[in-house]
Structure 1
């Protein structure tokens, strides 16, 4: 979820059964700033060396992103765990884009490690728009239906050769059991700060359901920061770093993090989501809210609190119906 992601090499390695003794020390990452980007562009893509470089207004967690002129962006992974996203987006975005009803990023070039920076990096075409805060959306229900149409179209491209859910996607698209131990530890640690009985029941309900169909494409991080609006309408979906093929329930998280009330209902109806998949989507939001509630950043902590409130309230309403 944009701006609030806790995925990367350390988490993925632990889930794969690694210990710190198994892993080599991570490469040292220098300060990722305008000066570094200028040097990388000048040495590897000299045709763009005269273009101005400046940070984007709203950056992400996995990558540091900069404007390159007016029509391009430069994206540099912020840690080793995010490096697989570069080649994945470079390989699959051109395959997905022609089959989707909204604009998605267009990879233009792939950079190599250099100038003290240890990872590959990417140049994409700039997509104009504002991140999808509620106050920027003209009609939240119409927005929800447009987003549902996009997600319904996403599984259609042939998934057979796509990347199966795993460490590269922070296990989005995989079984929620991946995060069972972590979730239960968080519930125990938070204690009376949360409604323990309710969240435990929500988690157990999510785990009782599994994806029984063939693997399909998922985005993996459908959040307000990765949805762009123009004129109050959804216009583009960005940041496919967590995409892959598997269970698309993770893409339902937006129903509790951005949507509410009628817009949430319209979103579910447009996707024709059954109870099991809805429960797993709810589970993804519960996991994220629980593990980030104690975040030292007050904005992220507030987002986590909102997630938990939304999930618990909607679950209670569903049980009462």
Structure 2
């Protein structure tokens, strides 16, 4: 991604320990160490089985609230562990936003593996999405950047494809045009993860790298499930991608139009990763691989 934005509040072990003492004193003596300091959230490992997740910026504070509000009910829907909060933290004079204590999932990020090594996750991830993509309840959050008609993203995508930084841009533009021309989603908005790429999949450390957990639901929203199905091209090689698509289609009766929109969403994400990941080689490689995957499948998707 682009350079990580500066945090609005400094988050360190002293701050988190203070928050735990004030609000969850039974957890305050557990070992605590930083794990990640991401774009939106900081995560600290808490003991062997828990983590503390805190927004770094005001703009990301609502993402944690979304997780607190909706993940408990989503966890009851899906067959794979998700980080539903086990404790909720309140804003204080030391920290201005809600924060969470969540389960810690031992394993390896799928981002650290290549597409071939992720193949064992294809069927369980398809099953996970079939369970997740149910009609969302009234009041479910919407997102102007995810789950919307592809034409809502047209300006951003064409700017990236015209900027000279995305390889095979002419071929991608043809895919993008065809995806935008696909019929829009019908029926009620459905639950979406909203940011389903290998960086948000936890796999077993050892081969065959089965799916352990799906994480980071800060962008959870209601909309077109094709958004999440773009992970076919972001996550898997050709063989596993075929298996993933076959299982999703069988379980959800997924239409050709949905898969065409999903390929368009893969163009959205892949072009953004290539444009914005100069300082994160793994995400740049992910974007480049996804571009090749979409174009490899384009003759079958858009005959």
| TM, length-normalised to structure 1 | 0.81
Match of 1:211 among 177, 185, 189: 185
Structure 1 unmatched runs, 5+: 9-26
Match of 1:227 among 184, 195, 201: 201
**CA shift in 2, pair 1:305/1:198, >3 Å:** same
1:43 and 2:22 aligned: yes
1:181 and 2:159 aligned: no
1:89-108 to structure 2, matched below 5 A, reads 89-108=67-86
**CA shift in 2, pair 1:140/1:38, >3 Å:** closer
Matched residue, 1:62: 40
Matched residue, 1:199: 172
Answer whether contact 2:3 2:279 (CA < 8 A) is retained: no
Question: Tell me, what secondary structure is at the counterpart of 1:146?
Answer: helix
1:127 and 2:105 aligned: yes
Matched residue, 2:261: 280
**CA shift in 2, pair 1:5/1:63, >3 Å:** farther
Structure 2 CA distance, aligned partners of 1:240 and 1:298?
21
Matched residue, 1:310: 293
Structure 2 CA distance, aligned partners of 1:213 and 1:176?
16
What's the offset of the Cα at 1:33? 2.3
TM-superposition CA deviations, 1:13-50 (whole Å, max 9, x none): xxxxxxxxxxxxxx971222223222222333333222
What's the offset of the Cα at 1:161? 2.5
Structure 1 CA distance, aligned partners of 2:198 and 2:49?
22
Matched residue, 1:268: 245
What's the offset of the Cα at 1:151? 0.5
Matched residue, 2:219: 242
Structure 1 CA distance, aligned partners of 2:4 and 2:175?
23
Question: Tell me, what secondary structure is at the counterpart of 1:307?
Answer: helix
Structure 1 CA distance, aligned partners of 2:268 and 2:55?
24
**CA shift in 2, pair 1:64/1:239, >3 Å:** same
Q: Which moved more, 1:112-121 or 1:84-93?
A: 112-121
Structure 2 CA distance, aligned partners of 1:224 and 1:213?
28
| TM, length-normalised to structure 2 | 0.85
Answer whether contact 1:218 1:245 (CA < 8 A) is retained: yes
Answer whether contact 1:129 1:228 (CA < 8 A) is retained: yes
Structure 2 CA distance, aligned partners of 1:239 and 1:70?
19
Matched residue, 1:15: none
Q: Which moved more, 1:78-87 or 1:112-121?
A: 112-121
What's the offset of the Cα at 1:251? 0.7
Structure 2 unmatched runs, 5+: none
What's the offset of the Cα at 1:175? 1.8
1:163-178 to structure 2, matched below 5 A, reads 163-167=140-144, 171-178=145-152
Answer whether contact 1:134 1:258 (CA < 8 A) is retained: no
**CA shift in 2, pair 1:136/1:276, >3 Å:** closer
RMSD (Å) for aligned C-alpha atoms: 2.8
Structure 2 CA distance, aligned partners of 1:261 and 1:129?
24
